[in-house]
Amino acid sequence: MKRLSLLILALFSLCYGIEERTYFFTSESVTEGHPDKICDQISDAILDAILKQDPQGRVACETVSSKGSILITGEITTTATIDINAIARNTLEEIGYIHPNYGISAKECAIMPLINKQSPDIAQGVNITENHEQGAGDQGIMFGYASSETEELMPLPILLAHKLAKRLADVRKAKILPWLRPDGKTQVTVKYVNDEPIEVTKIVIAAQHDPNIPKEELEEFIKEYVIYPVCKNYINENTQFHINATGLFVIGGPEADAGLTGRKIIVDTYGGMGRHGGGCFSGKDPSKVDRSAAYMARYIAKNIVAAKIAKRCEVQLSYCIGIAEPISIYVNTFGTSIVPEQEIEEVIRKVFPLKPYEIISHLNLRQPIFKKTAAYGHFGRNIFSWEKTDKIEDLKNELCL
């Protein structure tokens, strides 16, 4: 019935000259030196250090960055012995914060750890016992999204924004543009026609820099070494560029703006092209479904799109603390699926592991892989297990395709 309706709508549009649906969608990203991303990386570096020694460690680590100081707090229960101060300083140094003039100094800043243990009330719902399987570490809703518009099955605006942000860091670290400093933001606007990306219409770059670089030179070099290598296939003579639009961006990092773990959740996911359940990822061990179930939701959505069951797919999973099975599954294919969405929802339970323990095992999440996720997005990079498309045949077989 849905396929017939889409055919009728297409014929109606053709016969009566209905205009194409044109719209513009914008997504942003930030560099690894952005104050919030500093915090995400420190939190996930601590998580990784614990998982190296204690794969069953329970971690909910929050970091705050401000001028000259890093505060690390949260709840950690582990047998691991780690040096939190050294982890934080090493992370800052890897990012490039090696001088106080950059916004914070890895060697000179104050590090303040304030860590508690996980609440036993939470632990009893997560611990595996003879009479209790591992339940969700909290209630919550998680979303996953995929789109056929790019090879990575990600929305183009956030994909390009991430690549621009990563490129800013790469040319800085390689000393191609040595006057760049760690902080920065990017933003990309894409023109869509009938849900297909056509061109990039606007690119916004805010790059922290040495005070001695002239603005005209800065703009020229960022276009040449950052924008064109990333976006050349999508830009044209009409594309507008806004580079350091205020004129100066010398004061940056935590000196200019306090940072906090989990404050860039839309940057971490799909750039707004797809909903977000609300919980952040960084600093949380995989018993927290905020993280592990969001990865599973992406895995499900990506396999559905990769199997050509739909061009776009959003999957929602919801959980109750202490209960293993998800309490609901919802699929939205935005009118692009070749089978009814209800059938897809039923098949998901058969094909994909959805209990927290099963998710952790299937995606192999009890290992130190999370610091890599903490900048430039958790999705769209094939280095992660949740980006595999190994369930295509299972989905097709269950749906008789």
Q: What's the half-sphere exposure (Cβ side, CA atoms, 13 Å) at 234? A: 25
- Contact of 79 with 57, CB cutoff 8 Å: yes
- Evaluate whether 357 touches 323 at the Cβ level (below 8 Å): no
Q: What is the rounded distance in angstroms from the CA atom of residue 186 to the CA atom of residue 206?
A: 6
Residue identified by tokens 């006057």 is 179
Residue type present at position 165: A
* CA-CA-CA-CA torsion sign (198, 199, 200, 202): negative
Three-point CA angle 141, 320, 296, nearest 5°: 50
Q: Are 208 and 142 in contact (CB under 8 A)?
A: no
> What are the φ/ψ torsions at residue 198 (nearest 5 degrees)?
-110, -50
Positions marked catalytic: 34, 36-37, 62, 75, 185, 249, 257-258, 263-264, 284, 288, 290
* C-alpha to C-alpha distance for 139 and 122, rounded to whole angstroms: 11
Closest CA to 228 of 284, 163, 282: 163
Identify the helix (H) or strand (E) that includes residue 4.
Answer: helix 2-16
Helix (H) or strand (E) holding 184: strand 180-193
- Using an 8 Å Cβ cutoff, are 173 and 212 in contact? no
Q: Is 109 helix (H, G, I), strand (E, B) or coil?
A: coil
Instruction: Report yes or no: 223 and 177 within 8 Å, Cβ to Cβ.
Output: no
Tokens of 305: 């799109």
Q: Of 170, 190, 187, nearest to 178 (Cα)?
A: 170
Closest to 292 in 3D by CA, of 341, 375, 393, 365: 365
Residue located via tokens 């276009």: 223
Q: Are 268 and 377 in contact (CB under 8 A)?
A: yes
